Structure 1
Amino acid sequence: MDQHIRIPAGEKITVNPDFSLNVPDHPIIPYIEGDGTGFDITPVMIKVVDAAVQKAYGGKRKIAWMEIFAGEKATRVYGPDVWLPEITLQILRDYVVSIKGPLTTPVGGGIRSLNVALRQELDLYVCLRPVRYFQGVPSPVKQPEKTNMVIFRENSEDIYAGIEWAAESDGAKKILRFLIEEMGVKKIRFPETSGIGIKPVSREGTERLVRKAMQYAIDNDRKSVTLVHKGNIMKFTE
């Protein structure tokens, strides 16, 4: 193990053959403190989670927290150009469940977004967002107590694939020439100043996201699953 990482007393969470989780009484949970407000919010998050576990299990179970590094803190630990160490990725794979604080976007070349890099390296294709109302919170909605939904968004394809070129860059000019001269595209209004992105959407990526949403609905007694798209405009990539 890396000299900068201290493994606490505890056990790994493992995955069963049916893909359910085998969670020991003292699971080791890796965490990334994060950049910016991460310094402030991550220690508080740990205290809150520890208190919740204590209340739920009365001391019979307890999380063993293990800090790993990414973002600005990784550059201080491993060197100025190491934003996402390989050891961090390996630990995230090995320990199954982890949590991270907010990560900055490095300035300059290399990794453009650490969040996107993590999603792609670990194939974290589901962005799951529960949306519900908490009693007593002011809301502009007429009947906020009826707000209760869970949003599943594809996290690795579409524009989140991050395949793009800046306006006026050599890459953008090359793609624009191909689109205009080879493919006969005439709908790019300001090609000289346009950034260009590619939006890959696969059948496999779509199907696995929908399957995950449907399974979640079944497991959590949800009444329906609604597919939201803009297929009237983007006919082949929605």
Structure 2
Amino acid sequence: MAYQHIRLPATGEKISVRAGRMHVPDQPIVGYVEGDGIGPDITRASLEIWNAAVAKAYGGRRAIQWCEVFLGDKAAALYGEPFPDEAIQAFSDLTVSIKGPLTTPVGGGMRSINVALRQTLDLYACVRPVRHFPGVPSPLRHPELVDVVIFRENTEDVYAGIEYPAGSPQALKLENFLRQELGANIREGSALGVKPMSEFGCKRLIRKAIRHAIERGRNSVTLVHKGNIMKYTEGAFRKWGYELAREEFGEFTVTEEEVGNGASAEGRIVIKDRIADIMFQQMLLRPAEFDVIATPNLNGDYLSDAVAAEVGGVGIAPGGNIGDFIAVFEATHGSAPKYAGKDVANPGSLLFSGVMLLDYLGWGEAARLVETAYARTVADKIVTYDFARQMQGADEVKTSAFAAAVVARMD
């Protein structure tokens, strides 16, 4: 299709989906969004590293042909709005994309672009792998025990954007209905949010988590919920998760309760569940007991950032918003506008989101090159300012110099 501002590269092919499978050419066209604030700095650095890894891994046989897509401040300057339809169409056409951080006003202004993007493209799984790299500063004594992949439902729950301000006609109408028709005890003038959680939405998220565990040789899937209090929403998430595991993956899974009663877990994925607040404690005290985690939207938002803090913070925590095929990988931190253009930000979050992208393409050799070179760079104490202030004897470098150091350490 013809775009107004987006320019497809002169070479390369689009990724296609045929017969229920994604087909990736050797020269795939992949979308990228620079992002706001520090976005351009970390995107430039990450592109340099990804391109070097692909070239090194495949000797020029493969290369990503990057196509810039516009969201946020850059889109507002081009289209007059930060969330143009053309960007959504491009994400759909290209199948796989990655984006830098976008600014979302707190308490007012435009709706979150990130939330709108997930809902518009039905990117129902927010996937956040969290692991520790040697040398990265951590508050834990044994951060190497943290190695989890969090699957957070992206399109439902209170976080998905269904809420009404106090005193609005919608809030008053809903308040009156709940009080008069259902006998709910609600204070007058309340702001109200709706927490929809469907069997369809919960099961497709949990299905993706269990499939990931099976395909990657993981040991367990933990359903994290607040079902002890919200029995018909988060409690249903737990119930539907166990149902799905039994009905669709019975030959591959066993429940924690069954293992406790003597069943063997050898060669099978253990399905278990934890109350959300206890899960935060257990991820601190016994992180090695957890592997793949599936959770509703709001719990997953909190848990993802909390677990990321155990291994160095959201500055190096990657993420991807993934549907059945369309995927938009992203930096999981904010745009940090006060550091914009200063070439000082840590590119780790976006960089490792690109590692997820490479794995999603099936280009694991390039992904492992990035991970190994990054680990060597940090081990040599060549880091950006955020890590340097926590490490004795660190060589503090600019974002661009860090990228060059990573590329230099690729085998």
TM-score, with length taken from structure 1 = 0.90
Aligned residue runs from structure 1 range 118-157, under 5 A:
118-157=117-156
The amino acid that maps onto 1:153 is: R
Within the alignment, does 1:235 sit opposite 2:231 as a pair? Answer: yes
Match of 2:195 in 1: 199
RMSD value, Cα? 1.9
Question: Is the 8 Å Cα contact of residues 33 and 39 (structure 1) preserved in structure 2?
Answer: yes
CA deviations on 1:143-197 (whole Å, 9 max, x unpaired) are 22111111101000112321001223232222222212221112x4x443x3210
Match of 1:13 in 2: 15
Match of 1:57 in 2: 58
Cα offset for 1:111? Answer: 4.9
CA deviations on 1:186-223 (whole Å, 9 max, x unpaired) are 2x4x443x321001000001110111000000000001
Which piece of structure 1 moves more, 205-214 or 55-64? Answer: 55-64
Which piece of structure 1 moves more, 39-48 or 201-210? Answer: 39-48
Q: 1:106 to 1:230 in 2, by over 3 A?
A: closer
The 3-state SS of whatever aligns with 2:13 is coil
CA deviations on 1:116-160 (whole Å, 9 max, x unpaired) are 111111000001010111112232223221111111010001123
Match of 2:393 in 1: none
Cα offset for 1:29? Answer: 0.7
Within the alignment, does 1:105 sit opposite 2:104 as a pair? Answer: yes
Question: Is the 8 Å Cα contact of residues 111 and 117 (structure 1) preserved in structure 2?
Answer: no
CA–CA distance in structure 2, aligned partners of residues 222 and 106 of structure 1 = 38
CA deviations on 1:31-74 (whole Å, 9 max, x unpaired) are 11111221222222211211221222122211111111111211
The 3-state SS of whatever aligns with 2:19 is coil
CA–CA distance in structure 1, aligned partners of residues 68 and 95 of structure 2 = 15
The 3-state SS of whatever aligns with 1:225 is strand
The amino acid that maps onto 1:116 is: V
Cα offset for 1:110? Answer: 8.5
TM-score, with length taken from structure 2 = 0.54
The amino acid that maps onto 1:182 is: E
CA–CA distance in structure 1, aligned partners of residues 100 and 179 of structure 2 = 43
The amino acid that maps onto 1:29 is: V
The amino acid that maps onto 1:149 is: V
Equivalent residues, number: 232
Within the alignment, does 1:217 sit opposite 2:213 as a pair? Answer: yes
Question: Is the 8 Å Cα contact of residues 10 and 27 (structure 1) preserved in structure 2?
Answer: yes
The amino acid that maps onto 1:154 is: E
Within the alignment, does 1:41 sit opposite 2:42 as a pair? Answer: yes
Question: Is the 8 Å Cα contact of residues 32 and 99 (structure 1) preserved in structure 2?
Answer: yes
Within the alignment, does 1:161 sit opposite 2:160 as a pair? Answer: yes
The 3-state SS of whatever aligns with 1:15 is strand
Cα offset for 1:109? Answer: 8.4
Question: Is the 8 Å Cα contact of residues 179 and 185 (structure 1) preserved in structure 2?
Answer: yes
The 3-state SS of whatever aligns with 1:208 is helix
CA–CA distance in structure 1, aligned partners of residues 134 and 108 of structure 2 = 46
Give the share of equivalent positions with the same residue, in percent. Answer: 58
Q: 1:145 to 1:108 in 2, by over 3 A?
A: closer
The 3-state SS of whatever aligns with 2:96 is coil
CA–CA distance in structure 1, aligned partners of residues 30 and 215 of structure 2 = 25
The amino acid that maps onto 2:84 is: P
Q: 1:49 to 1:179 in 2, by over 3 A?
A: same
CA–CA distance in structure 2, aligned partners of residues 150 and 174 of structure 1 = 41
